[in-house]
Amino acid sequence: MRLENYIDHTLLKADATDSEIKELCLTAKQHRFYAVCVNGCHVSLAKRLLEGSKVKVAAVIGFPLGATSTPVKVFEASEYVQNGADEIDMVLNIGWLRARQMTTVQDEIAEIKKTIGQKILKVILETCYLTKEEIKWACEAAIAAGADFVKTSTGFGTGGATLEDVAYMHEIVGNRIKIKASGGIKDAKTAREYIKMGVSRIGTSSGVAMVAP
């Protein structure tokens, strides 16, 4: 497997500068990563820097808490797609999920997917806060709403991806939806373990080290 084909090269820290985004995009092009994943304010810059390459631009919305209102998330998604985002990584409303407001959770995901059309939608579950039952609910809601991926983590919660959680997610979703593992994945060995489990994308800020000879 070519690891670079799975990597969303990620920089989401609050103090990221334009020069750091430029470096992110340069290294993504050099190593032929699948995508860069950035905050919304950097989408236009990343799109310009990646022009002419095959590297996609993913933008996060409702990040990192998932607790902004649905209209705000919809506006973010629309704005970032207009600015050049190819993919949207949204944090679902974790409080609604834990309160079993499943129709509301599903409707929000569906509205965002409708807004971005054929663009890829990844739904971040933030599994560190969820029980297995809640992970199942979240996966089922994402599938029913037409999302393209479920994603483990923001990287800003109390924990990131785990092999146990990903195995359970795969058991639930099968081939109905793809999985992105993200949060705390820092070496090639771990990344390859996730891929062997059926993960289609790896979110990491350590992509360069992973593909180093």
Amino acid at 110: A
For residues 164-177, b (16+ Cβ closer than 10 Å) or e, as one string? ebbebbbebbeeeb
What are the residue numbers of the active site?
A: 89, 151, 180
Query: What does the pLDDT look like over 98-146, one tens digit per residue?
Result: 999 999 999 999 999 999 999 999 999 999 999 999 999 999 999 999 9
In 3D, which of 202, 200, 183, 205 has the Cα closest to residue 191? 202
158-194 pLDDT per residue, tens: 999 999 999 999 999 999 999 999 999 999 999 999 9
Residue 69: CATH number of its domain: 3.20.20.70
For 85, the domain range is: 3-211
Query: How far is the C-alpha of 60 from the C-alpha of 97, rounded, in Å?
Result: 19
Number of domains in the chain: 1
What confidence tier does 1 reach under pLDDT thresholds 50, 70, 90?
confident
Q: How far apart are CA 75 and CA 57, in angstroms?
A: 18
Asked if residue 26 has pLDDT above 90, the reply is: yes
Q: Is residue 68 scored above 90 in pLDDT?
A: yes
What is the CA angle 207-162-159, rounded to 5? 85
The closest alpha carbon to 152, from 109, 185, 188, belongs to: 185
Judge whether residue 40 has pLDDT over 90.
Answer: yes
